[in-house]
Amino acid sequence: MAKKKNPVEVYQLICKDCGGRNYAARLKKEHKNLELTKYCPSERKHTPHKAKKA
């Protein structure tokens, strides 16, 4: 019998400064509290982005 894979879900990466939904990411459930520094086009600089369920 085949092994079951961990479910992957789609999360939006939301800018903490402006609140814009700039990126989409496919993450496992255990990474739902992910926070990355990504480029925000409206702020025109790198800002922290937090993963939120799409």
Strands (DSSP E) along the chain, which ranges?
Answer: 8-15, 21-28, 35-40, 45-53
Share of residues in the chain with pLDDT > 70 (%)? 96
d(CA 40, CA 6): 30
User: Which stretch of 5-9, 11-15, 17-21, 33-37 has the lowest confidence by average pLDDT?
Assistant: 5-9
Asked if residue 14 lies in contact with residue 23, where contact means CB atoms within 8 angstroms, the answer is no
- pTM, to two decimals: 0.80
d(CA 54, CA 26): 10
pLDDT at 36 over 70: yes
Asked if residue 50 lies in contact with residue 14, where contact means CB atoms within 8 angstroms, the answer is yes
Distance of CA 5 to the CA centre of its chain: 20
Amino acid 1: pLDDT: 65
